Amino acid sequence: MHAADWGVAGAMVLMVIATAYGAQRARRHSDYGRLVPGAVVTVFGLLALVAFYRWGFEEGSCDGRGDIVCLTNKNQGILTLLALLLAALAVWVEVVMQHTEGLRQHKERIRHANQAVGDAIGEAHHNLLHVALCYSGNEMTNVPWGMSIDDICALAQQEYRHVVDEEVLGHLDRIRRTYDSMQEQRNRFVNASTEPEREEARKEIFAESNPFQGFVMHHLGLLVDAWYAYKQVPGCRERLQKPGLQDLPRIQAANAGRSMYFYFRTSDEEAQEEAPTIRTEEAMIVCWFDDKPIGVPTFALGPRFADAGEAHVH
């Protein structure tokens, strides 16, 4: 085989590899920029193919059966070149069409996921309103009702797993566990058959220190992380600007690195014990009640929700 034949064969292989590369990148990524490298290599492969054909016509001896240029030169190579060009074009049209469809599906998944996140934000906000309404000042006086986590748990669906912010997803299991625990406490009260039994169940709940602490704090964590990830997303931003959540922009401004502490009360023993570390790290606190400031920026959202709850109507 003449050297030109090796060049033509190499150019063909180069085109095939480039096309396969472009197709692979198109399927993996939802970005047209990922197609550019493969397209560029394909173009250079076509140019090399044309150059080697011209050189093969001029230099080839056509004295062997293996001469690719000569075997495809029945019509001065024009039909062969045209067929190769059309084949390359057809492959790339297919690649772009597949990529476009994949991009459309990916955008649709993101749209549905963003809608689900917005619903979860709304549900979390609604739940915290009900918790706030059960307090008189800083003391719980009633058992919270009317709460659910259906929209929050919906984010755990497999179709959302790869498109919802990981920090937001991290709160789902914890919210579910604390909700189940909270339901057990509430059921003791709800299922009481007599008023004395109901009062006893009520005392058991209120005897615990901050009985729904975990449920509340994981809700706050979900809302704070949702603000970082979704504040620019239509449908989410509106819910993140509801009464009770007006401190979210200030929380981000005070701690852009998302490094913060969460406590139900700053007067809790754990918060007091960790106060030196918090001050040393110049971290901040997001809490429900700020009973005893410990010398760091603190955002108490309980009073915010209490004010919002006064105007809350089903």
Q: Which amino acid is at 288?
A: W
Residue range 156-200, pLDDT digits in tens: 888 888 889 999 999 999 999 999 888 877 777 778 788 888 788
Can you read off the two tokens belonging to residue 34? Answer: 């990922």
- The runs of H, that is alpha helices, within the chain are 3-28, 36-59, 68-71, 78-132, 150-154, 166-169, 172-190, 195-207, 213-230, 237-240, 248-254, 269-280, 302-310
Domain end among 79, 104, 129: 104
| Eight-state DSSP code of residue 72 | T
193 in the same domain as 281: yes
Q: Quick one: 126 and 73 in the same domain?
A: no
Q: Calculate what percentage of the chain has a pLDDT beyond 70.
A: 67
Domain span at 159: 105-310
pLDDT band, residue 288 (cuts 50/70/90): very high
Higher pLDDT, 203 or 232: 232
Are 65 and 173 members of one domain? no
Q: Are residues 110 and 214 in the same domain?
A: yes
Residues 151 and 133 in one domain: yes
Mean pLDDT of 76-95: 61
For residues 99 and 27, the answer to whether their CB atoms sit within 8 Å is yes
Name the pLDDT band for 77 (thresholds 50, 70, 90): low
Question: Residue 91: how many CB atoms within 10 A of its CB?
Answer: 18
The pLDDT value given to residue 272: 92
Kindly state the percentage of the chain with pLDDT values over 90. Answer: 37
**135-139, 153-157, 245-249, 274-278 — which is least confidently predicted?**
135-139
pLDDT in tens, 122-141: 999 999 999 999 888 888 88
For residues 146 and 288, what is the distance between their CA atoms, to the nearest angstrom?
20
Range with the poorest average pLDDT among 78-82, 96-100, 226-230, 288-292 = 78-82
- How many domains does one find in the chain? 2
Q: Are residues 72 and 138 in the same domain?
A: no
The answer on 56 and 202 residing in a single domain is: no
| Same domain (yes/no): 165, 261 | yes
pLDDT band at 232 (very low <50, low <70, confident <90, very high): very high
- Tell me which of 72, 104, 136 is where a domain ends: 104
From the number of C-beta atoms within 10 Å of its C-beta (0-12, 13-18, 19+), residue 126 rates as middle
Clarify whether residues 141 and 218 are in a common domain.
yes
CA–CA distance, 152 with 172 (Å, rounded to integer): 7
DSSP state of 298: E
Say what the pLDDT of residue 75 is: 46
DSSP for 4-18, written as a single string: HHHHHHHHHHHHHHH
Res. 314: pLDDT tops 50: no
pLDDT digits over 24-69, tens only? 655 555 555 655 666 666 666 666 666 666 665 565 555 554 455 5
Are residues 111 and 99 part of one domain? no
In the predicted structure, residue 207 carries a pLDDT above the cut 60 = yes
The span from the CA of 10 to the CA of 52, in Å, is 10
Specify whether 186 is located in the same domain as 98: no
In the listed set 84, 104, 124, which residue is the last one of a domain according to the structure?
104
pLDDT value at residue 78: 54
Whether 80 and 200 map to the same domain: the answer is no
| pTM, two decimal places | 0.69
